[in-house]
Chain A
């Protein structure tokens, strides 16, 4: 299967000279379309750095990140922003909804950022996604009026609005209680199976990682494990 996202020998060093710190050393792997993978590692292992690089939020010091067939090394900030908006969905530990906007407006934001018109079809898509997320009827509520779990589910819905090839989720349930955590992972799995959206979920919780089809482990900036089918 074609890879939707690939890291080729990527390294990341912060600082220069004697104060230089290597956060990531020559990491290579690819995520295929429709894959449901997790990235585990201790705090400070370099997993967030890796996710930022894969999500085109940062550039590697060496190596290259491929989005589909496209080499992102030579893209400027503007081009990377466009490509990021068009192909990658993000879910963060914090929901990062805009409190100034309604639930529906928050979900439509990725479309509006890329200059797409929001018409009846898009509004219908908002309703569909909300219904899938178990949030039917909340589209006109202000984002601030929702509970923590609801907000995080809206953030997931926002990441899905443009039908991204892959969703990068950075500790997406870090702020949620156990029942909400389970609900969010069930949701990820459903979306993955029903819509074929790829997922790469960063977590420090091995139990959560066990629920995915592939576990990548980063330790001290190196990829030390890459195990498929959930069996290490």
Chain B
């Protein structure tokens, strides 16, 4: 195709200019991809550390009554629900000389507890075991009290009695509040403390596949006598923080795109002026207005596609480089942001060629050939 080969020659004839603008597009797209991936990963990491190892939805009895395990079946019928476990919760106080440390003790079957809290993978000392009388405590609590795996521990329960446990292991859930306050034990120990019978529980804890679907699922689980607690309703500040972060990142990306668009548009405008003579003679030799206009459209396409390809490579390089940064989360390339950046990059390039393409297609060959 003649217009394409002319476009390519025009770009090659001003090689320095072409390389600069491709580099400009590449850097712009790389920033897009990096910022997009960074924000996505950062938010995923924040959400994961907030609710990754805790229930997304909790069903509680309205009053002091108890919940039946049959609610677990209802919850598991929802397609988004990945885990639903019946637990028994109570509070306990560990008293050590002058200091006392409050704990929320959750009792349940080990495999079920693991399904929601992922405790087996988060044990930092001792082992993941919840046999009769065993307890798992958080790393913060263990640090504060000096307790280690194998130590015996007595907790003052709400009814004033003392419960005796053995620390089986210490976990790290990645959040200070959880590490200071949570403890897990077997279902029977808490059941005894609360005076619960075999089929009675104090809460049903649920996890869903997409954490942001929790509100919708929670709505479906709402029933009489049950209070549904949704993590999103409990974390409004975090969510509005995430929304603000997304908004500002979109704004940065939009400005980068505007800069890229201006760069391409000015390069093409200069090129259109530089090549006026060539376009004029091509038209005098019979090239149609549309074909002449296509030359600049194709130049924009070549610049856009090459720039975007280089931008994607550079974006991956930035993400790889970031893996050496001293932060405790990693940036994963977000394919959505790569696709969106690539598509927008090419579209912006094409849009930037509209003015030079139009002025080229309108150019009258007489103006050029008479100018000598």
Contact = CB atoms under 8 A, between A and B. Distances in A.
Interface of A: 48, 52, 55, 57-58, 77-78, 81-82, 84-86, 90, 92-94, 96, 98-101, 109-110, 112-114, 158, 170, 175
A85 B10 CA distance: 22
8 contacts: A48-B370, A81-B288, A84-B284, A85-B287, A98-B9, A100-B6, A113-B291, A175-B372
B105 to A, nearest CB: 80
Interface stretch (B92-100, B275-283, B301-309, B351-359): B275-283
Given A98-B278, A99-B13, A101-B9, A113 B369 contact: no
Interface range on chain B (Cβ under 8 Å from partner): 20 to 34
A57 B284 CA distance: 7
A113 B287 contact: yes
Given A81-B289, A92-B372, 7 more contacts: A81-B287, A85-B286, A92-B281, A96-B284, A96-B369, A100-B13, A110-B286
Interface in B334-372: 364-366, 368-370, 372
Contacts, number: 72
A96 B277 contact: yes
Nearest to A87: B286
A82 B277 contact: no
Given A93-B372, A96-B369, A109 B285 contact: yes
Contacts of A170: 369
A100 B281 CA distance: 13
Given A96-B277, A100-B10, A100-B13, A57 B286 contact: no
B12 interface: yes
A116 to B, nearest CB: 10
A99 to B, nearest CB: 7
A96 to B, nearest CB: 4
B302 to A, nearest CB: 14
Contacts of A96: 277, 280-281, 284, 368-369
Contacts of A98: 6, 9, 278, 281-282
Contacts of A77: 288-289
A57 B365 contact: yes
A78 B289 contact: yes
B244 interface: no
A100 B284 contact: no
B2 interface: yes
Contacts of A109: 282, 285
Given A58-B366, A100-B278, A86 B289 contact: no
B264 to A, nearest CB: 20
Contacts of B366: 52, 57-58
Nearest to B289: A77
Contact of B286 (A48, A52, A84, A100): A84
A15 to B, nearest CB: 16
Nearest to A49: B366
Given A100-B10, A170-B369, A85 B285 contact: yes
A96 B277 CA distance: 7
A86 B10 contact: no
